A and B are shown apart, each in its own frame.
Chain A
């Protein structure tokens, strides 16, 4: 079936530390993956994406890693800041499809 899951529903880190949010996906035919950040009362905000022909992509303070062998996706946030507190969703797109399939999300809390 369709499912994009997350290993941890909540994650708490100290300000300034690095955060790693993990995601497992089930469809080996997925060819595109994306991470969103959603703050309370707002819509999901695009963070970074990666295609299946890549295994790593870097943005500003964020890195996405894709391991197709074990169908695992991770989002690394460097030097976390209070503004990084939010729910983070990974999503996948099946090859040939238009829709994004989302997981439940991980709530990231930054401790001062």
Chain B
């Protein structure tokens, strides 16, 4: 049983560029949440997708957007990258009605 997978594992971008990160949820899961984890900090909630719609959003600007596909996989898009966007981006999946979120390995984004 495959767990949560994310791609790419690492990414280097320059300020002002745009980036797309991808996530495939754990088998049987239909809900995907995205988190940003700065170095030495706990993960911060960006947003959650369920039934291809954003269900809840954290305190992140509109530069951060997402999408969920019919197969429950998800993308996180960040526009106009800033140096401060450098972080580990984590995807977590869960099943409707269950609170437990299972995390993927993350994508390490470096903005130069």
Contacts and interface: CB of A to CB of B under 8 A. Distances in A.
B104 interface: yes
Most A C-beta atoms less than 10 A away, residue of B6, B90, B100: B100
Contacts of A101: 45
A45 interface: yes
Residues of A contacting B: mostly: strand
Interface in A21-75: 32, 34, 36, 42-46, 49, 51
B73 interface: no
B99 A49 contact: yes
Interface residues of A, number: 23
Contacts of A43: 4, 6, 90, 103-106
B56 interface: yes
Contact of A99 (B40, B58, B104): B58
Contacts of A93: 99
Given A44-B90, A97-B56, A102 B102 contact: no
A104 interface: yes
Contacts of B31: 98
Contact of A105 (B4, B42, B102): B42
B101 interface: yes
B42 A46 contact: no
B40 to A, nearest CB: 8
A34 B105 CA distance: 18
Nearest to A89: B42
Contacts of A79: none
A100 B99 CA distance: 9
Contact of B99 (A32, A103, A105): A32
A51 B100 CA distance: 11
Interface of A: 4, 32, 34, 36, 42-46, 49, 51, 89, 91, 93, 97-105
Given A43-B104, A100-B101, A105-B41, 6 more contacts: A44-B90, A46-B101, A51-B99, A91-B42, A98-B48, A99-B45
